[in-house]
Amino acid sequence: MSSAPRKTAGAGVLRAALAVAHKELGESFRDRQTLLYTFVLPLCMYPAMFWIMVQGVLVVQGQKQARDVTIGVVAAAETAEAAREQLAVNEEGRGRIEVIALPPDTPQETQVIAGLIEAEEADALLFLPAERNDADPAALFFDSTSSQSETARGRVVSALEQWTAELRQEAADARDIDPEALEPILVQTRKVNPSKDDGALVLSLLLPMLLVVMCVLGAFFPAVDLTAGEKERQTAETTLLLPIPRLGLHLGKIFAVCATSMIAATLNLLALGLSAGHLLGQLAGLGDGAPKVELPLGALISIAPLAALFAFFVSAALTGVASLAATFKEGQALLGPVQMLFMLPAMATNLPGMELTATTAWIPVVNVSLAFRGLLVGSASAGPLLICALSLTASALLAIWFSVRLLSSEEVSLSSETIPMARLFRILRSR
């Protein structure tokens, strides 16, 4: 066979393939889900979400920089005074660094220093030797589990870098040499909290996010299965004929989704809590300084009521949205962006400086994650926890109302096609 007919045949196949691809693409782009995932999410939703996250980071960082911190300086009177002049610089938009001189005989003992930080005498302690001494370098003590102490550490380290650079420059000028020729002045940073607290800190970065993610993932498939799946299986009519009040029927579905969500979250938290210590130790090959991770049973029990409220909120919201879909596949597609709305704020709570306050406690999702984190490191206080409970209760009730409203709608419960979001508000408003 000559090569010309072969080429012609090859071109024919390619032409056919292109024609098929053209038709399939055209058809795909008429599919709402494909459009959503191909264009709408990447072009609109994700950039908008990340913009909001970045703005949140900037706000948090700004707040962190605007905080006043107190540094206890342990040094001879002259050195302490020099430190006050160098550290206590007032810059616009930044909080004050207040320097207090502590008795020069304050012992460099972890327990004593931890006691001073806990008593809020100072947020961090700086020990400065009278002269440069490699055997006894400057040391900065802080509590890594305290956001305030951690902020103080960051700001003092930054200020000390500038000061030590100046000292190095002065010493070099005095000897008329290049400052690079001199050894840098060392400032050691030391944590006063026990490694067990560090373990809690590690868990506080993992478990709160996992709580949110697993609640959402645990609710995801049951929410679709009990709503869109029911329509697809043609059992919706059977269910509507059950001799029970409709409210009971719809609440029953939400309870079922919520139960799965809570089981998934509980099992995952327990599994991770139990295995974290072992895995972390193995992965890092760490020695005595390795964080000691123990199962935080107290925190897990304490967070349970808030987690249950959150699970109700997630389950009701996902069930409501999934009920708009006519098939399982469309239900999954609808819930994709919705689950991101839950997961991204939870991820944002891992940003440094984020903690449960009277303000953040009002923000659903963010609040449960921060509350759990606070309970894990022992920094949560009653007021914000109460606000968190109120906010989650309100969110759960609102989501249940939303879900029941949709499930009660004839247009939604028996529709053979997915309800577009544009009709959502009309359905919610209708009597």
Partner 1 sequence: MTDLTSAIAIRAEGLAKTFHDPQRGVVEAVKGVDLDCRKGEIFGLLGPNGAGKTTTLRMLSTILAPTSGRALIDGIDVAEDPLEVRRRLGFLSGSTGLYPRLTGRETLRYFGRLHGLEGDRLEAAIARAFDAFDLHSFGDGRCEALSTGQKQRVSIARAVLHDPPVLILDEPTTGLDIMASSDMIQFIDSRREAGTCVLFSTHILSEAERLCDRIGIVYDGRMLAGGSLDELRAMTGKEWLEEIFRELVQRADAGEGAA
- The residue ranges that bind partner 1 (CB under 8 A) are 233-235, 237-238, 240-245, 410-411, 414, 420, 423
| Residues in CB range of 87: below 8 A, 6 or more apart | 71, 73, 97, 99, 156, 159, 160, 163
Q: How far is the CB of 252 from partner 1 (least distance, A)?
A: 11
Q: How far is the CB of 370 from partner 1 (least distance, A)?
A: 39
What is the Cα Rg of the chain in Å?
30
Judged by CB, which is closer to partner 1: 229, or 277?
229
Residue 253 near residue 351 (C-beta atoms within 8 A): no
Q: d(Cα 355, Cα 376) in Å, to the nearest integer?
A: 12
DSSP character at residue 291: P
- Minimal CA–CA distance to 273: which of 214, 314, 216, 220? 214
Judged by CB, which is closer to partner 1: 234, or 282?
234
Task: Give the pairing of strands 124-127 and 138-142.
Answer: antiparallel
Judged by CB, which is closer to partner 1: 246, or 278?
246
Helix 366-377 and helix 195-225, axial crossing angle in degrees, nearest 10: 150
213-238 burial, b at 16+ Cβ within 10 Å, e below that, comes to bbbbbbbbbbbbbbbbbbbbeeebee
Q: How far is the CB of 114 from partner 1 (least distance, A)?
A: 57
Judged by CB, which is closer to partner 1: 103, or 243?
243
Q: How far is the CB of 376 from partner 1 (least distance, A)?
A: 39
Q: How far is the CB of 150 from partner 1 (least distance, A)?
A: 51
Judged by CB, which is closer to partner 1: 186, or 242?
242
Q: d(Cα 133, Cα 201) in Å, to the nearest integer?
A: 33
Q: How far is the CB of 413 from partner 1 (least distance, A)?
A: 9
Q: Which residue reads 């939400």 in tokens?
A: 254
Q: How far is the CB of 337 from partner 1 (least distance, A)?
A: 22
| Residues in CB range of 44: below 8 A, 6 or more apart | none
Residue 104: exposure state from Cβ atoms within 10 A (0-12, 13-18, ≥19): middle
CA dihedral over 89, 90, 94, 95, signed as positive or negative: positive
Residue 169 near residue 120 (C-beta atoms within 8 A): no
Judged by CB, which is closer to partner 1: 30, or 134?
30
Judged by CB, which is closer to partner 1: 243, or 289?
243
Judged by CB, which is closer to partner 1: 271, or 414?
414
Judged by CB, which is closer to partner 1: 229, or 273?
229
Q: How far is the CB of 30 from partner 1 (least distance, A)?
A: 16
Q: How far is the CB of 322 from partner 1 (least distance, A)?
A: 18
Phi-psi region of 316 (alpha: psi -120 to 50; beta: other; left: phi over 0): alpha
Q: How far is the CB of 21 from partner 1 (least distance, A)?
A: 30
Tokens (6 digits) for 211? 């709580």
Judged by CB, which is closer to partner 1: 391, or 413?
413
Sheet holding 138-142, edge to edge: 97-102, 69-74, 124-127, 138-142, 187-191
Q: Provide φ and ψ at 99, rounded to 5°.
A: -105, 125
Amino acid at 209: M
